[in-house]
Amino acid sequence: MARKMVFVDTSLCTGCKACSVACKAWNDLPAEKTKRITSYQSQADFTPNTWTYVRFREEYKDNKMHFNMLKLQCFHCDDPACMKACSSNAIYKTESGYTLVDREKCIGCGYCAANCPWGVPKIDEATNKMYKCTGCIDRVENGMKPACAQICQPGAIQFGDYDELMPKAQARVAELQLTNPKAHLYGDNLMGGTTYVYLLQDRPGAYGLPLNPTTPISLTLWKDIVHPLGGIAIGASAAAITAGVIVNLVRGNYANRAKNIAESHDEGGK
Amino acid sequence: MAKEVYRFSAGERFVHWCHGVAFLLLLFTGLGVLVYAFQPAMNIFGGIQVTRNIHRVVAVLFTIGMIVGFIGKGQGARQMRRWFKDVINFGNDDFAHAKNFPIEFFGGHKPFPPQGKFNGGEKLNSMFTILGTICIVISGYIMWFASGPSLLLQWAYPIHAACALFMAALLIAHLYLGILHPDSNQALKGIFTGWVPAKFAYEHYEKWYNEEAKETIRG
């Protein structure tokens, strides 16, 4: 299947939150008690049962209030930190660009959750499994749009083949830049390129997004340096003691040892 | 019976075995989480989730054992504190011994200055173990209790893994010297009964033998 893309155009978003409802409906996720977080935001963060929500930021410019509204879900990175962190081979990429978790393999260790630059994966402590947005892979593979894209009335969530949708996204940015020079794409060049790409109308920080999300250095150190070096150290140690036994045998030290001990018995020690 | 001197008090042996048994259990269960290929082996405990809980229970018992081993006024705790003070005190004589370590490791011998209760090589092993244990305990509790992505948690992972893997490498060499090495394995009895051959003690820890050990001679 060709690489897919979801284009989230914040300039069209009305903040209706239908996307998060559609996500729950399609994925059979139970509703959770919500409370007002700030502005119109009713969900603080992802949970094992909430895979997408809308973040609201209010900003005042020239005495006018601006809503920075952002529908959040897994970005489906091409080079995901969660997959690198996973010690159980439970996270994998599809050809279509999705980052998915195999919950048969997942053990709930939380390494993914700790290393995702956007804090997307959440561990259900009761089942010890990780849950996050699947990109509605089950719909996509059957020729349908993801539930959030399907429901979005103003067309702020668009779905299509990457090669076709990306030029449209770039054209939309160019169009907006005529009146708003801050308009830009977010995600297309992050973490190897994300499947969910955003059009932001302000700097990422205005939406509470990290400016330059990366794979944590600690994760690279852990998986690419500590693990191979640790393996080498254990291997070298095992090889050294094997050589030690052989060299001691060849030198006759084991035979001498028995003799020495016998002598020390005769002498009665020192 | 050959003459023997008293080397390890009950307290020292308790801490050693508490550390040893806990380390092996923690290493085995930890590898089940860390290395995918080890996961099937965790079925002997009843699966990976049971294993993760065993790892935590043993970690707590281990931490308590270490603390109990070092605090208090008892003779054992005093010995442990003395060991700690001894091994972090690394002088020229220790260096001279550690320098010859590769020769001794492969069964050769080169004279070294008289050593205290712990020789240069043992001091190095002890210092690595102390440092590794402190780091692995702290990073482990961070991994257990930290919530949400944070730098603290992210850095705890490589530190925990590095300590585990390098202490495992150290353990392999330690087992060799204690069990398989034809000269140094004379000390093996000491960690079970506390007593080691007097001749061995004299040859390996001359300073300690003359200053302390010879008063305990028996047999």
pLDDT tens-digit series, residues B169-185: 999 999 999 999 998 89
> Which one of B53, B199, B203 makes the best mutation probe of the A interface by having the most chain A beta carbons within 10 Å?
B199
Structure-block tokens of residue B159: 């530190």
Are the C-beta atoms of A92 and A213 separated by less than 8 Å? no
Q: Write down the pLDDT at residue B72.
A: 81
For residue A256, which phi and psi values (nearest 5 degrees)?
-60, -35
The residue written with tokens 């482990």 in the block is B140
The residue written with tokens 């995918």 in the block is B36
Would you call A144 helix, strand, or coil by DSSP? Answer: coil
Question: Which residues in A84-173 belong to E strands, given as ranges?
Answer: 91-93, 99-101, 122-124, 129-131, 157-161
Q: Write down the pLDDT at residue A267.
A: 53
Q: Write down the pLDDT at residue A167.
A: 98
Report residues of chain A scoring pLDDT below 70.
261-270
Q: Write down the pLDDT at residue A266.
A: 57
How far is B185 from B37, CA to CA, in rounded Å? 33
CB pair distance less than 8 Å for B2 and A265: yes
Q: Write down the pLDDT at residue B109.
A: 87
How far is A212 from A221, CA to CA, in rounded Å? 19
Structure-block tokens of residue A53: 């929500």
Structure-block tokens of residue B165: 């893997």
Q: Write down the pLDDT at residue A270.
A: 44
CB pair distance less than 8 Å for A227 and B166: no
This model of the complex carries an ipTM of 0.91
Higher pLDDT, B28 or B72: B28
Structure-block tokens of residue A268: 């009665």
Are the C-beta atoms of A29 and A122 separated by less than 8 Å? no
pLDDT exceeding 90 applies to what percent of chain B?
A: 80
Work out the average pLDDT over B43-63: 95
The residue ranges of every structural domain in chain B are 4-216
What is the average pLDDT score of chain B?
A: 93
Q: What angle do helix axes B151-175 and A227-250 make, rounded to 10 degrees? A: 10
User: How many beta-carbon pairs below 8 A join chains A and B?
Assistant: 132
Reply yes or no on domain B4-216 having CATH 1.20.950.20: yes
> Would you place residue B59 in the very low, low, confident or very high pLDDT band (cuts 50, 70, 90)?
very high
Q: For B94-117, write each residue's pLDDT tens digit.
A: 999 999 889 989 988 889 999 999
Are the C-beta atoms of B218 and B3 separated by less than 8 Å? yes
Q: For A168-192, write each residue's pLDDT tens digit.
A: 999 999 999 999 999 999 999 999 9
Q: DSSP letters of A194-233?
A: BSEEEEESS-GGGGT--SS----HHHHIIIIIIHHHHHHH
Nearest by CB: A247 against B48, B107, B219: B107
The residue written with tokens 């050990």 in the block is B213
Query: Left if phi > 0, otherwise alpha if psi is -120 to 50, otherwise beta: which for A131?
Result: beta
HSE (CB half, 13 Å, CA atoms) of A5? Answer: 22
Are the C-beta atoms of A45 and A194 separated by less than 8 Å? no
Residues of A in contact with B189 (CB under 8 A): none
> Would you place residue B1 in the very low, low, confident or very high pLDDT band (cuts 50, 70, 90)?
low
Q: Could you tell me where the DSSP H helices lie in B35-74?
A: 48-70
> Would you place residue B74 in the very low, low, confident or very high pLDDT band (cuts 50, 70, 90)?
confident
Q: Strands of A157-161's sheet, edge to edge?
A: A157-161, A4-9, A196-200, A184-186
Nearest by CB: A113 against B2, B149, B172: B149
In one letter, which amino acid is A18? A
Nearest by CB: B48 against A107, A218, A226: A107
Instruction: With residue A237 as reference, give the H or E element that holds it.
Output: helix A227-250
Structure-block tokens of residue B164: 């585990």
> Which one of B6, B105, B106 makes the best mutation probe of the A interface by having the most chain A beta carbons within 10 Å?
B106
Q: For B187-215, write each residue's pLDDT tens digit.
A: 899 999 999 999 999 999 999 999 999 99
CATH of A4-214, one of 1.10.530.10, 3.30.70.20, 3.40.50.720, 2.60.40.10: 3.30.70.20
CB pair distance less than 8 Å for A245 and B198: no
How far is A71 from A174, CA to CA, in rounded Å? 22
Nearest by CB: B165 against A87, A226, A269: A226
CA angle in degrees (0–180, nearest 5) for B68-B72-B78: 100
Q: For B132-177, write each residue's pLDDT tens digit.
A: 999 999 999 999 999 778 999 999 999 999 999 999 999 999 999 9
CB pair distance less than 8 Å for B107 and A244: yes
